């Protein structure tokens, strides 16, 4: 590879020659910069919430589900719990005895179901994290915990041919008005050697592209998979051309 002038980037015949364009003498070829560590290749803002470890040939990616908005949700669950306790006391007072009203037990049943679901979901958001382990020649593994959560899976690395991001469009009402506001939920998928696709669970629904696209790049880089278009893949305007 020819030596380049550090000022004008013109190729020099050999080290020690004067640059024909700008004049300085290049005494030696400039040393190639050392490749940055894996953590340094990540965006500084993302490196604080994605923990990246390299254990020999194994890449371990770990991130917590916690966000500050979950504190507000936890307070809402506490309010639900108070109403649930009050509804149980009311049901005991008016739902028993000779003049009992059996239908009054429907209220604690409904509040109990909602409180149980929201309570478990909120605890998982506060405590859980996802660990994604990538080992070339072995497997790609996803684990959620410490609270049980669906999506734990393992795929042999030899079956993975591509990792890509998918966007699913959904709608929700906005401020009680009579129109729907669209939003996207992003998911991570693996294309397998038999042509099928497997969803790589990231935990709760993800409405931002940063996490799945960052994981896609890290997994493909570690497994040595060349990035190529996949039908149905979500592609940003700044990325390569969409798959046709």
CA distance 225 to 222: 8
Q: Using one digit for the tens of pLDDT, what is the confidence trace for 6-62?
A: 655 566 665 555 666 565 554 544 444 443 444 334 443 344 567 888 888 888 999
Count: domains in the chain: 2
Burial classification of residue 184, based on how many CB atoms lie within 10 Å of its CB (0-12 exposed, 13-18 middle, 19 or more buried): middle
Domain encompassing residue 121: 69-125
* pLDDT number for residue 210: 81
| Residues 143 and 197 placed together within one structural domain of the fold | yes
For the chain, first and last CA: distance in Å?
Answer: 38
Calculate the average pLDDT of the chain: 77
| Residues 143 and 115 placed together within one structural domain of the fold | no
| Residues 199 and 110 placed together within one structural domain of the fold | no
Domain boundary among 90, 125, 160: 125
Q: Which of 63-67, 109-113, 158-162, 170-174 has the lowest mean pLDDT?
A: 170-174
* pLDDT number for residue 134: 92
| Residues 238 and 173 placed together within one structural domain of the fold | yes
Domain boundary among 125, 146, 169: 125
| Residues 121 and 138 placed together within one structural domain of the fold | no
| Residues 104 and 195 placed together within one structural domain of the fold | no
77 within some domain:
yes
Taking alpha carbons only, the member of 61, 47, 11 closest to residue 222 is 61
On whether the CB atoms of residues 216 and 165 are closer than 8 A, the answer is: yes
16 within some domain:
no
On whether the CB atoms of residues 6 and 17 are closer than 8 A, the answer is: no
109 within some domain:
yes
CA distance 124 to 196: 30
Write down the pTM of the prediction.
Answer: 0.67
- Is the pLDDT confidence value at 157 over 70? yes
- Residue-wise over 133-160: b if at least 16 C-beta within 10 A, else e? bbbeeebbbbbbeeeebeeeeeeebeeb
Residue 170 pLDDT class (50, 70, 90 cuts): confident
Taking alpha carbons only, the member of 189, 226, 182, 184 closest to residue 209 is 184
78 within some domain:
yes
């Amino acid at each position: 590879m020819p030596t380049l002038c550090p000022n004008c980037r013109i190729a020099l015949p050999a080290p020690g020659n004067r640059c024909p364009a700008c004049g300085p003498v290049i005494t030696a070829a400039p040393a190639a910069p050392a490749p940055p560590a894996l953590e340094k290749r990540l965006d500084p803002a993302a490196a604080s919430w994605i923990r990246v470890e390299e254990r020999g040939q194994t890449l371990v990616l770990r991130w917590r589900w916690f966000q500050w908005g979950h504190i507000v949700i936890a307070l809402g669950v506490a309010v639900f719990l108070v109403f649930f306790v009050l509804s149980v006391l009311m049901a005991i007072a008016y739902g028993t005895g000779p003049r009992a009203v059996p239908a009054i037990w429907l209220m604690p049943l409904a509040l109990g179901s909602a409180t149980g679901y929201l309570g478990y979901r909120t605890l998982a958001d506060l405590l859980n994290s996802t660990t994604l382990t990538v080992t070339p020649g072995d497997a790609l593994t996803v684990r959620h915990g410490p609270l049980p959560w669906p999506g734990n899976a393992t795929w042999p690395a030899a079956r993975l041919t591509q990792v890509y991001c998918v966007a699913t469009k959904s709608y929700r009402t906005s401020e009680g008005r009579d129109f729907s506001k669209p939003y996207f939920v992003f998911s991570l998928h693996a294309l397998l050697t038999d042509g099928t696709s497997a969803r790589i669970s990231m935990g709760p629904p993800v409405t931002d592209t940063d996490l799945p696209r960052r994981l896609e790049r890290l997994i493909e880089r570690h497994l040595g998979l060349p990035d190529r278009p996949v039908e149905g893949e979500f592609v940003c305007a700044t990325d390569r051309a969409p798959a046709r």
